[in-house]
Amino acid sequence: RAADARRTAGRRGGFVKLAIIQFKPRKGDVAANLETLGNAFAQLAAEERPYDLIVLPEASLTGYFLEGALYELALPAEAFAERVAARWRASAPAQPSIDLVLGFYENALGTYYNSAMYLQVEPKGHRIVHVHRKMFLATYGVFDEERFLSRGRHFAAFETRFGRMAILICEDAWHAIMPTIAAIKGARALIIPSASPGRGLSGEIGRA
């Protein structure tokens, strides 16, 4: 479900209508997760005022704890973008344009990353604006990312139609150097997809 939607400053002095989709992906079931995502897209597109930006969690189409299965399910960035863009167009035909941020496992010519993509979808195509590869892999407690994944080696801020932004993924945000570098590079907004397990929460997150 779409768990949170709010307006934030930043669109040419006005506001960006932002939706945060929080859901529990079915582990390794990309088709089922795409179906869930399509239902959420349709829900958001049905609102009177269109959304500008939609953000999804880390590893949004596969689930997070894949271990070795990620080698079979990871996709090249363009293949991932194509699937998501097609799902948006099918689910929201009345709103052909949207910006999306989604976490995914990336297969970059045989090197595997925990990545997040900023994707701009238009009526007749899509454009990958930026791909961030997680730099600080979690290797404590129940987490063992570095056993299966490579670290990202480059960090950049990037231009969007809503202003200059940067993406961090979960553990990245716990290291103060990352938002500091983002600020130095001119980012005015940080987007942080995460799949951290939650404990002690009850009830439903409502709309702000």
Distance from C-alpha of 31 to C-alpha of 199, rounded to nearest angstrom: 28
Q: Is the pTM of this model over 0.85?
A: yes
Q: pLDDT tens for the chain, 208 residues: list them.
A: 444 444 444 454 468 999 999 888 899 999 999 999 999 999 999 988 899 999 999 999 998 888 888 899 999 999 999 999 999 999 999 888 999 999 999 999 999 999 999 999 998 899 999 999 999 998 877 788 889 999 999 999 999 999 999 999 999 999 999 999 999 999 999 999 998 655 555 554 444 3
Q: Which residues contact 94 (CB under 8 A, 6 or more apart)?
A: 45
